[in-house]
Structure 1
Amino acid sequence: MGEKAAPQQVPTDPFRHPLARYLAYADEIGNAVTTYGPCGLTKYMRYFPTITHTYIIMDTLSKGKKAYNLKNNPPKEEKKDEKEDNKDDKKKKGKDDKKSKDKKKGDDKGGEQDQEDKPPEPTPPPILAALDRYGWHMLASVVIPRYTLRQVHCGLEVFADFLRLCRPVRTYFTTALALASIPLIIRPIDAISDHIMDMSYRTVFGTPKSEENKDEKKDEEK
């Protein structure tokens, strides 16, 4: 029997949900349709930038409010007693070398104490948490997507010239394919933006880093 593939994890943050991330690209879709689309759609597409701006502002305020609530109402630490199960497993083993067992118990207790002594991550001030998310959106929702889509559009223009397409067909051809590339670039751009913020803003101001980098550090420690 082949192993089943693990299901893809969906972020708990609703604003980072794969479908919600398309709201960040509404501005680019509106600009493309306004520039190259039929004249009848122009009056409706001018509202698309408002969707992106509202999405960014709502996410920024949500992260600031969440940090504010955690700052004023910190969660209680839950104590988990796992030493009893470990002791029962150790008692079942052979009792020939008591000294070696005592050393192992001491090492295990020391490791457990180190894990318990690790302090929880400090909650950043609300203003820093909000600015962290706003800076991330400037990279992941505005600057990098706009630059990437323009480069894709320029590349498609060169390809259309190679095919010697007429001007109307080439315009709709390049615009449609450039917009169709959005699902392919969302996740890489989000990951690049997380990495840039982890190496710059989050390192300087001590705000929590992305979950992917945390998982990589845990794997390296193991």
Structure 2
Amino acid sequence: MDPSKEQLEKTVDIYRDTWVRFLGYANEVGEAFRALVPVSFVWGSYAVATAYVTADAVDKGKKAAVAHGDNPGRTTRVAVAVVDTFVWQALASVIIPGFTINRVCAASLYLLGRTTRWPLPVRKWTTTAIGLSTIPFIITPIDRSVDYLLDSSLRKVYGDEEKHK
């Protein structure tokens, strides 16, 4: 098969290959802006990220159902696809990066308060800039760490062939 036909047949995963992927980072953006916005905005950003995680898990479950047709063990494979995707995404896209950005921003605001004489609004905007600029650097290490964690634990229960990716 020549490359052009192969490219045409490749299925685009909207949750991994399009702008929709950035919805998984909504809570990191919310955490970066925590010093500047009402807390309801931060919680709203978690709602967006959680909706993304849930939608991706449901999508992977539907794809597993189609892939396994009426074969024995279909229900188990669908459940594994949903659980693996949800757990992976919850850890790698919401919980760990949200906590990380929260702590980076809290530490930044504290350190700026102790080491500078900048007015509070300047310190808050600087903290937000630091939080936002941290996001691209934490994604890959967190993703790899969550892969390692799940490969070393949950995925041993159902086998390596059923990963989220």
TM bin, normalised by shorter chain, reads: 0.7 to 0.9
Number of matched residues?
Answer: 152
The equivalent position to 1:147 in structure 2, one of 96, 99, 119, is 99
The equivalent position to 2:87 in structure 1, one of 115, 135, 154, is 135
Shift of 1:171: 1.4
Larger Rg: 1
- Greater RCO (CA < 8 Å, at least 6 residues apart): 2
1:64 aligns with 2:61: yes
Checking the alignment, whether the CA contact within 8 Å between 1:194 and 1:210 is kept in structure 2 is no
Q: Distance in 2 between matches of 1:195 and 1:147?
A: 19
Q: Which residue of 2 aligns with 1:28?
A: 28
Alignment of 1:59-98 (within 5 A): 59-72=56-69
Q: Which residue of 1 aligns with 2:131?
A: 178
TM-score in terms of structure 1 length? 0.57
Structure with more helix by fraction: 2
Residue 36 of structure 1: SS of its match in structure 2?
Answer: coil
The equivalent position to 1:166 in structure 2, one of 119, 138, 158, is 119
What is the root-mean-square deviation in Å for CA atoms of aligned residues? Answer: 3.2
Instruction: Describe the superposition over 1:9-54 as per-residue Cα deviations: whole angstroms up to 9, x where unpaired.
Output: xxx6442348543211212323543x43367xx8877643332122
Structure 1: state its 5+ residue gaps. 1-11, 75-121, 213-222
Structure 2: state its 5+ residue gaps. 1-11
Checking the alignment, whether the CA contact within 8 Å between 2:61 and 2:78 is kept in structure 1 is yes
Q: Distance in 1 between matches of 2:110 and 2:42?
A: 27
CA shift in 2, pair 1:31/1:178, >3 Å: closer
% identical equivalent positions: 32
